């Protein structure tokens, strides 16, 4: 639907960036924030400031929820189910997949048009070519809000299960934090001999940049389920490698706490007769009983 009026609930760093982008792309915006002072610059820039959530909803076709967490979302949406009727609600607040499903179930119970979203961008990226947002849940709700959502960045619809956008968000953030914590370990080790972390950052970027394309091979091997050690690195080889990293870290007086969980999985594979398997079969140990 073109020329929609959009209510933005939450004017933190992200809600503010989203509101500014919507104004820049010609959308009428109504804003609400718990701490009312944060709405003032937006009102000066052309948004309408609402004193209550209900007042913000009253004027809106689409409602973007950009609050802190699941609890704050439900605190403000639950009492206003009747007022939300007839509007498309898009929850961009970071939640877990099950929290997203729970809000979608609540919305369905009340006959609301609801889609869950996940923002794969920082506030400064909103509206730029590197901004990407994921959506899942009610396809009709997504289509109704699409024109608004595409102003924020690339919009990818993941499927009808409302938890899917959040699941991908959580999976990508998991990979990000594991990668970044690897850098922290490297910087901690190099710092022991006076190398600035800024120098190690450049080294790690170069090294990982060359290696990241290997992920495609790992992905294909995992999907094939064959784990061909002739093309990869087996468990015993990788155990020896990680063992050396742990010894080296400790030798420099640095904790190996970030590496030990991986070593534990490799030890278990070796102890159960899978020392000759490709080390990426660690993935088979991750599902919980
Ligand atoms: N900032 C980022 O880089 C990330 C990128 C990926 C997605 N996240 C998620 O976006 C949600 C909002 O994040 P944010 O950056 O805007 O966060 P803050 O600047 O901390 O603002 C939080 C807003 O939430 C309001 N708030 C908090 N608790 C409540 C509550 N109980 N009731 C009503 N509002 C609440 C807070 O209001 P105030 O403190 O100004 O009164 C802010 O408006 C978030 O899910 C990120 O994970 C951003």
What end-to-end distance do the CA atoms of the chain give, in Å?
A: 46
CA distances from 271 to 76, 225, 274, 276, 289 (A): 52, 21, 7, 11, 19
Spatial contact of 47 and 23, defined as CB atoms under 8 Å apart: yes
Q: Which atom of ligand 1 is nearest to the CA of 71?
A: 31
Does the beta carbon of 12 lie inside 6 Å of ligand 1? yes
Q: What is the C-alpha separation between 163 and 261, in angstroms, rounded?
A: 28
Q: How many angstroms does the Cα of residue 33 sit away from the middle of ligand 1?
A: 10
Q: Supply the pLDDT for residue 2.
A: 65
Q: Supply the pLDDT for residue 53.
A: 98
The number of helix segments (H) and strand segments (E) in the chain equals 12, 8
Which amino acid residue places its CA nearest to atom 4 of ligand 1?
Answer: 122
Q: Supply the pLDDT for residue 226.
A: 76
- Nearest C-alpha neighbor of 188 from the set 201, 175, 176, 177: 201
Q: How many angstroms does the Cα of residue 239 sit away from the middle of ligand 1?
A: 42
Q: Which atom of ligand 1 is nearest to the CA of 34?
A: 41
Which amino acid residue places its CA nearest to atom 21 of ligand 1?
Answer: 12
Q: How many angstroms does the Cα of residue 76 sit away from the middle of ligand 1?
A: 13
Does the beta carbon of 33 lie inside 6 Å of ligand 1? yes
Does the beta carbon of 11 lie inside 6 Å of ligand 1? yes
Which amino acid residue places its CA nearest to atom 47 of ligand 1?
Answer: 94
Q: How many angstroms does the Cα of residue 24 sit away from the middle of ligand 1?
A: 21
Print pLDDT tens along the chain (289 aa).
667 899 999 999 999 999 999 999 999 999 999 999 999 999 999 999 999 999 999 989 999 999 999 999 999 999 999 999 999 999 999 999 999 999 999 999 999 999 999 999 999 999 999 999 999 999 999 999 999 999 999 999 999 999 999 999 999 999 999 999 999 999 999 999 999 999 999 999 999 999 999 999 999 999 998 777 777 799 999 999 999 999 999 999 999 999 999 999 999 999 999 999 999 999 999 999 7
Helix (H, G, I), strand (E, B) or coil at 213: coil
What is the β-pairing status of strands 154-157 and 132-137?
A: parallel
């Amino acid at each position: 639907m073109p020329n929609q009026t959009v209510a933005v609930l939450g004017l933190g760093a992200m809600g503010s960036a989203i509101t500014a982008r919507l104004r820049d792309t010609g959308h009428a915006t109504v804003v609400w924030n718990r701490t009312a002072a944060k709405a003032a610059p937006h009102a000066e820039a052309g948004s309408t400031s609402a004193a209550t959530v209900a007042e913000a909803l009253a004027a809106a076709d689409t409602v973007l929820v950009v609050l802190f967490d699941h609890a704050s979302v439900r605190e403000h949406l639950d009492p206003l189910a009747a007022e939300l009727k007839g509007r498309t609600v898009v929850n961009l607040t970071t939640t877990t997949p099950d929290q997203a499903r729970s809000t979608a179930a609540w919305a369905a119970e009340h006959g609301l048009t609801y889609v869950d979203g996940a923002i794969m961008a920082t506030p400064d990226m909103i509206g730029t070519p590197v901004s990407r947002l994921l959506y899942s849940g009610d396809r009709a709700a997504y289509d109704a809000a699409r024109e608004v959502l595409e102003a924020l960045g690339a919009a990818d619809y993941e499927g009808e299960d409302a938890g899917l956008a959040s699941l991908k968000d959580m999976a990508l953030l998991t990979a990000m934090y594991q990668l970044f914590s690897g850098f922290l370990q490297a910087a901690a080790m190099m710092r022991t001999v006076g190398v600035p972390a800024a120098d190690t950052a450049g080294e790690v970027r170069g090294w990982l940049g060359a290696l990241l394309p290997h992920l495609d091979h790992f992905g294909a091997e995992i999907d094939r389920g064959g784990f061909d050690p002739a093309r990869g690195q087996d468990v015993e080889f990788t155990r020896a490698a990680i063992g050396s990293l742990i010894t080296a870290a400790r030798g420099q007086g640095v904790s190996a706490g970030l590496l030990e969980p991986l070593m534990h999985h490799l030890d278990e594979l070796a102890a159960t007769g899978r020392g000759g398997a490709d080390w990426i079969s660690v993935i088979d140990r991750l599902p919980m009983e």
